[in-house]
Chains A and B, each alone.
Chain A
Amino acid sequence: EIVMTQSPATLSVSPGERATLSCRASQSVRSNLVWYQQKPGQAPRVLIYGASTRATGIPARFSGSGSGTEFTLIISSLQSEDFAVYYCQQYNDWPRTFGQGTKVEIK
């Protein structure tokens, strides 16, 4: 199966600063990548699909890029509601697999 590796595990950022999250696939997943946000006690919520397309209602401060094996999620100016755990997930091959998550915490 395709292993998704996210880094860093934890990112400490001050409100208003930029956050850069990375996701690496063990083999090419083309652009078949999704980013989710999860807050405590809630289910994950889709942010980005197709590696770079924002889902409906997602603010422009979230952007995704990459293809193949290297992907990046950028939050341009962190708001208080953005402190959460972020997961990448590939759907290029079966089984669909998730990264282990990056926790974005308040610095």
Chain B
Amino acid sequence: QVQLQESGPGLVKPSETLSLTCTVSGGSISNSYWNWIRQTAGKGLEWMGRIYSSGSANYNGSVKSRLTLSVDPSKNQFSLKLTSVTAADTAVYYCARDARIGSYFWFDPWGQGILVTVSS
């Protein structure tokens, strides 16, 4: 079955760019939407955005000005770049696939999550 794995640095300095990659295994990245979701103690779960395998993306307005999603089908990977980070961006970051049956959607599977701390 499809499995997702996040990777990237666990520590980022304030004002710098947070970059994460999600590697898809056990299936193709093609013909699906791929999401980034983060979880903080204060704000809970926050959907950040999603990207289709063709490269078209949707973003949450709360981070839209700072967020760029990209996809690399040749590597079966998709990525997140969040610029100008602050301590408020400290979170566990998850990647997840859009699962769908008809008009029903849900996030599944999820990666295990990666803790990213923003601190100098």
Instruction: Contact check, B44 vs A94: say whether CB atoms are below 8 A apart.
Output: no
B110 at the A interface (CB under 8 A): yes
Q: Are B60 and A46 in contact (CB under 8 A)?
A: no
A43/B45 contact (C-beta < 8 A), A53-B104, A95-B60 known: no
Known: A43-B94, A43-B111, A44-B107. A89 touches B61 (CB 8 A): no
B interface, size bucket: 20 to 34
Question: Is the contact region of chain A dominated by helix, strand, or loop, or is it mixed?
Answer: loop
Q: Which parts of B84-105 form the interface with A (CB within 8 Å)? A: 94, 96, 99, 101, 103-105
CB distance from B117 to the nearest CB of A (A): 17
Q: Chain B binding site: helix, strand, loop or mixed by DSSP?
A: strand
Contact with B along A78-99 (1 / 0, CB 8 A): 0000000001010100111111
Residue among A1, A55, A91, A96 with the highest chain B CB neighbour number at 10 A = A96
A94 to B91, CA, bound (A): 22
Select A95's contact among B44, B61, B104, beta carbons within 8 Å. B61
CA separation between A8 and B104, bound complex, in Å? 26
Tell whether, in the assembled complex, residue A97 and residue B104 are in contact, meaning their CB atoms are under 8 Å apart.
Answer: no
Q: Per-residue CB proximity of B51-74 to A under 8 Å, as 1/0? A: 000000010111000000000000
The reply to whether A49 and B105 form a contact with Cβ atoms under 8 Å apart is yes
Q: Whole-angstrom distance from the CB of B52 to the nearest CB of chain A?
A: 15
Interface size class, chain A:
20 to 34
Q: From the candidates B58, B106, B110, name the one contacting A34 in the complex (CB within 8 A).
A: B106
Cβ-defined contact, B106 with A55, below 8 A: yes
Please report the C-alpha to C-alpha distance between residue A42 and residue B92 in the assembled complex, in whole angstroms. Answer: 11
Show 27 residue pairs from A and B whose CB-CB distance is below 8 angstroms, ordered by the A residue.
A32-B103, A34-B107, A36-B107, A43-B110, A43-B111, A44-B107, A45-B110, A46-B99, A46-B106, A46-B108, A49-B104, A49-B106, A50-B104, A53-B104, A55-B106, A55-B108, A87-B44, A87-B45, A89-B45, A89-B106, A89-B107, A94-B60, A95-B60, A95-B61, A95-B62, A97-B47, A98-B47
